[in-house]
């Protein structure tokens, strides 16, 4: 179990997270939601150890500390929001960097096969030998996701992993997230802006506002029109899909005289 205990994150005098308490269990997907600037990405960065904080972050009874940050990060795969790179590496080489701890001058057949299979599962085998810096933003996202999975993590942190993908690739990637989380009993925490996707692929959602967790729970309980209107300050209609899941539809206010 991963625990946040009174977690507070500040940028100078600005507090983006204030005394947040949360617990994350294995085998579940948790999606962090909120308006721009709510602290969603900062929360992931703090868990990974990229941002200073007060309070405590604990995994399996061991607290994160600067002195042992490399040990802390071993079970974690973190896919940041910005996947841009100027590295002169092929897509396959970038994916293999997910297992830097196992790399040497000779790459084992088992590791190479695993990397190739991940590219195939994400439908990007044709990009294996293409330079990573020549890929589109969406293609890089898929490559970086393959790299994250190759780490065989226990905690998967994904910051807007589908922001540059078309609908088909969004569903494909999030299906892989769901399958991998359950199969390997991971703790998956991701940031999404698409509330309807969050409803479809999350076990729980955390709605951030004003530095606090405004609401947390099953998507159907949290994604209510009144709650979302308070956080996003926009008129929202909640529809229901044929699967019984909420579909969030924001709409513009009626113009005068129309």
Closest to 198 (Cα-Cα) out of 15, 21, 3, 40: 40
Residue 193, pLDDT score: 93
Q: State phi, psi for 116 to the nearest 5 degrees.
A: -65, -40
The two tokens of residue 37 are: 């600037």
The two tokens of residue 47 are: 């868990």
Residue 104, pLDDT score: 55
Could you give the 3-state DSSP secondary structure of residue 166?
coil
Residue 105, pLDDT score: 59
Domain boundaries, the chain: 84-152
Give the DSSP H or E segment for 85. none
How far apart CA 197 and CA 53 sit, in angstroms, is: 30
Give bridge partners of residue 24 from the DSSP assignment. Answer: 2
How confident is the model over 237-258, as pLDDT tens digits? 999 888 888 899 888 766 555 5
What is the Cα gyration radius of the chain?
A: 19
Could you say which residues of the chain have pLDDT below 50?
A: none
The two tokens of residue 43 are: 């929360």
How far apart CA 1 and CA 187 sit, in angstroms, is: 8
Q: Do residues 22 and 213 make contact, with C-beta atoms less than 8 angstroms apart?
A: yes
Q: Do residues 213 and 20 make contact, with C-beta atoms less than 8 angstroms apart?
A: yes
How confident is the model over 79-88, as pLDDT tens digits? 998 766 777 8
Could you give the 3-state DSSP secondary structure of residue 202?
coil
Residue 102, pLDDT score: 58
How far is C-alpha 61 from the geometric centre of its chain's CA atoms? 23
How far apart CA 134 and CA 140 sit, in angstroms, is: 9
- Measured at the CA of 38, the angle between CA 32 and CA 42, to 5 degrees, comes to 70
Residue 58, pLDDT score: 96
Starting at the edge strand found earlier in the chain, the sheet holding 54-59 runs 14-24, 2-11, 54-59, 62-63
The two tokens of residue 164 are: 């540059």
Residue 106, pLDDT score: 62
Give bridge partners of residue 58 from the DSSP assignment. Answer: 3, 63
Q: Do residues 233 and 180 make contact, with C-beta atoms less than 8 angstroms apart?
A: no
pTM over 0.85: yes
The two tokens of residue 144 are: 């970086």
């Amino acid at each position: 179990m991963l625990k946040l205990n009174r977690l507070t994150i500040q940028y100078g005098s600005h507090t983006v997270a204030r005394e947040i308490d949360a617990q994350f269990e294995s085998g579940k997907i948790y999606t962090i939601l909120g308006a721009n600037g709510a602290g969603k990405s900062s929360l992931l960065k703090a868990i990974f150890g990229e941002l200073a904080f007060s309070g405590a972050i604990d995994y399996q009874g061991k607290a994160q500390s600067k002195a042992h940050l490399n040990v802390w990060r071993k079970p974690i795969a973190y896919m940041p929001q910005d996947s841009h790179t100027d590295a002169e590496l092929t897509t396959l080489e970038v994916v293999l960097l997910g297992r830097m701890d196992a790399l040497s001058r000779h790459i084992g057949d088992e590791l190479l096969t695993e990397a190739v299979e991940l590219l195939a599962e994400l439908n990007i085998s044709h990009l294996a030998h293409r330079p990573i810096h020549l890929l589109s933003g969406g293609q890089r996202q898929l490559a970086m996701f393959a790299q994250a999975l190759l780490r065989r993590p226990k905690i998967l942190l994904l910051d807007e992993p589908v922001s540059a993908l078309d609908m088909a690739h969004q569903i494909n990637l999030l299906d892989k997230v769901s399958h991998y989380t359950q199969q390997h009993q991971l703790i998956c925490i991701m940031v999404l802006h698409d509330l309807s996707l969050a409803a479809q692929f999350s076990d729980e959602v955390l709605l951030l506002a004003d530095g606090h967790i405004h609401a947390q729970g099953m998507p159907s309980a949290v994604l209510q029109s009144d709650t979302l209107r308070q956080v996003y300050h926009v008129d929202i209609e909640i529809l229901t899909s044929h699967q019984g899941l909420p579909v969030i539809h924001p709409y513009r206010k009626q113009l005068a005289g129309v």
